[in-house]
Structure 1
């Protein structure tokens, strides 16, 4: 009898995400087992229990997924799981806490595609402002943007000190330069908007971080992306379905909404889980791999659109 495909889901939280369970099932995993309240010191023992019990042949049909809500802790847990394995006992690993890695990757890939399509530019050299930048999506979006060569400012509605602490902690963990700035109040937001080529709205659902009045100050803005799908929109004028749609009131700028990003996020997570499930070799998947997968998906979409006959 062929051995079933098993995914072990580690989370430091009190419960696993139904979203992740659904995605794993849709990718073909037959048994999905959550382990809750997993601290980083428990990762090694759990990982070795998973690999030794199946033998060298069974590990190819075994995966470990790391969830939770902390972007930095998930990265550390991924490294701890990786270091617990050795040949031939090696299984595929993936981290995506609260979907932050795949959401941030999708967001940046959408922004990059819009920059190329509408401005013939990439992310390198752009001044990127991340509003809600201390949360998991904001932190990883900031890292990916910095890795792509952008100058990145991380803003917090709680003020400069909180933003600077998050920027320093995140930048040090992933080896990039990030700058913390205040996003507390309209005056602070407008001052930062005035310098931004790209704005990423990564705040909590239902929180508007850029109003119509604020947009008047965004004279350099080229692309605005928002991952908030709950009214009101995170950036005024950016609808949830907008896919690089011209942004009213800002000449030359386009907006990318939450559902446009969400479609790419879904495809990205699915592709990564499928690569774990179907791959012949074990893989380790984090946000750089998610960014590559999101870029690949968008490139395929663009190529397909270009090949279709015009009416």
Structure 2
């Protein structure tokens, strides 16, 4: 009898995301067990409980997924789990807190593809403004943009101090420089938008962070990408299905939440399948998600549905 594929899902939160549980089942895991309220200090013990009970053959059919809502803590938990592995008892690992790693990867890869397709540009040298950028997706998208040579700017409606704290903490953790601006007032937000080549709407669902009036002063804008699928749109004029549609009154094209979300779904599915099938074991974070997002977008369809 073949041993089942088991996925242990760790989250520091009160519950594991049903979305991630569904994704794991669709990727072929047969036993899926959530562990809630997990602290960083508990990761080593839980990981070693998972690896030593199955033997070298069973451990190849075992994986650990790390969720939650804190992108910095998830990265630390992933590192702690990897350090707890004892060869040959090695399992595959994958962190995607609140879906932020795969969503950010899809967002940045889709933006990169739109820049190339519609403007002949790369991210390098451009100024990317992340409205609502202190959240889970914004921080990781900012890191990915910075690593591609862009100036990534986190904006917060709470003001400059909140944006600076998020930019400083996230940049230090992942070895990049992130800038910060205040989006607290209309004037501050518009000043930041006026200087941006790319605007990413990464605020909470149902919150509009760029209005039609804001868009009117976006003279440099080339891509407006929005991950908010809940009305009203996060970036005014960007529809949820938009995949390179010209944005009225600008030289930009829009990328909507469902177009980006399609890429995100494919990225998470592919990583979970690869994690389950991997020999030897693998460890996936947001850099791996970004590589797979580029792979999805380079597929036969050549766009967000690729």
Same fold (TM over 0.5): yes
C-alpha deviations, 1:75-108, integer Å up to 9, x for none?
Answer: 0000000000121011000000010000000000
Equivalent residue number for residue 276 of structure 2: 277
In the aligned structure 1, how far is the partner of 2:217 from the partner of 2:159? 20
C-alpha deviations, 1:128-187, integer Å up to 9, x for none?
Answer: 000111100000000000011101110000000000010000000000000111011210
Equivalent residue number for residue 20 of structure 1: 20
Equivalent residue number for residue 308 of structure 1: none
Equivalent residue number for residue 296 of structure 2: 297
In the aligned structure 2, how far is the partner of 1:278 from the partner of 1:146? 32
In the aligned structure 1, how far is the partner of 2:189 from the partner of 2:303? 39
Equivalent residue number for residue 309 of structure 1: none
C-alpha deviations, 1:160-218, integer Å up to 9, x for none?
Answer: 00000100000000000001110112101100011100001100000000000001111
In the aligned structure 1, how far is the partner of 2:40 from the partner of 2:88? 24
In the aligned structure 2, how far is the partner of 1:232 from the partner of 1:63? 38
Structure 2: 5+ residue runs without aligned partners?
A: none
Instruction: Give runs of ≥4 in structure 1 deviating > 2 Å.
Output: 301-305
Query: What does 1:205-216 align with in structure 2 at a 5 Å threshold?
Result: 205-216=205-216
Please say if residues 297 and 303 of structure 2, whose CA atoms lie closer than 8 Å, have aligned partners that are also in contact.
Answer: no
Query: Is it true that 1:120 corresponds to 2:120 in the alignment?
Result: yes
Cα RMSD for the two superposed structures: 1.1
**Corresponding pairs, count:** 304
Equivalent residue number for residue 224 of structure 1: 224
Q: Structure 1 residues 216 and 68 mapped into 2: Cα distance closer, same or farther (>3 Å)?
A: same
Normalising by structure 2, we get a TM-score of 0.98
Please say if residues 199 and 221 of structure 2, whose CA atoms lie closer than 8 Å, have aligned partners that are also in contact.
Answer: yes
Structure 1: 5+ residue runs without aligned partners?
A: 306-311
Equivalent residue number for residue 37 of structure 2: 37
CA apart distance, 1:301: 3.6
Secondary structure of the structure 1 residue equivalent to 2:299: helix
C-alpha deviations, 1:212-267, integer Å up to 9, x for none?
Answer: 000111100000000000110000000000001100111x2000000000000000
Normalising by structure 1, we get a TM-score of 0.96
